[in-house]
Amino acid sequence: MPATAIITGASSGIGFELAKVFAQEGYDLIITARRKERLKNLQTEIENDYNVKVHVIPLDITKEDNACRLLDYTEKNNLNITALVNNAGVGDYGSFHTSEWIRQSQIIELNIKALTHLTHLFLPALMKNERSYILNVASTAAFQPGPLMSVYYASKHYVLAFSEAIADELQGYRVTVTALCPGPTESEFQKVANMQTSKLIDRFPLATSHKVAEYGYKAMKKGKRVAVYGFYNKLLLKTIGLFPRSFVTAAVRKIKERK
């Protein structure tokens, strides 16, 4: 029975590239996002380029019934799920007190609740395999507070802490958990989060989604718990602890302010 990977948020950015990397490595795929046409185009591209099967399931995973539908689909089709990639995420830019609550709620629902729910749903199946993987896409934002993106940064801290905790719980089982932590990356994220005019986009080089996806896949296969992409990001995160937290918070705000 072929190994199958579930990838959320596969219609663009890192998720889109992760789908191609997993396919190149021989995985069948379940790709999900809300944009059906983009998923169908990705399905055609992958099935034409690689000898794998791609299942397209367009849905909003923040709705609990839809997450359960995803599990039901795998069981009814007798799919061997050996990797769960929780990539779907959303952000917002601006002061918390002037933000729209619906947007902040969406961040919490998608970045935290949906990721946790899918992990809880699929862990029993993953634990039955000889070797299985969970790859949770966090961010370098997980390591410090984020003024002007407060809820997004907090949500990514949750992803990191949750991933490390269950990785420890799963010692002795055949499932590894990796938190992938890229820095600023070329994707639709900046546009969706309304960050185009942030100094961050000018001052820090943007990694390509493909390079981040390749790095994340390799780190997952090695069983790394925390995988920070890029030398500069690794160096920056090592130095954060040397400064007072108030200084770090102020510095993050400074680089995030509008040009």
Tell me which residues are annotated as active site.
Answer: 152
Closest by Cα among 116, 130, 215 to 166: 116
Q: Please tell me the distance from the alpha carbon of residue 57 to that of residue 140, in angstroms, as a whole number.
A: 29
Q: Please tell me the distance from the alpha carbon of residue 59 to that of residue 85, in angstroms, as a whole number.
A: 16
Q: Which is it for the CA torsion 11, 20, 41, 84, positive or negative?
A: negative
Report DSSP state, residue 110: I
Tracing tokens 């918390």 back to the chain, one arrives at 96
Tracing tokens 């791609």 back to the chain, one arrives at 54
The 3-state DSSP class for residue 119 equals helix
Q: How many CA atoms lie within 13 A of 118 on its CB side?
A: 33
Q: Please tell me the distance from the alpha carbon of residue 33 to that of residue 40, in angstroms, as a whole number.
A: 11
The 3-state DSSP class for residue 111 equals helix
| Token pair recorded at residue 19 | 């789908």
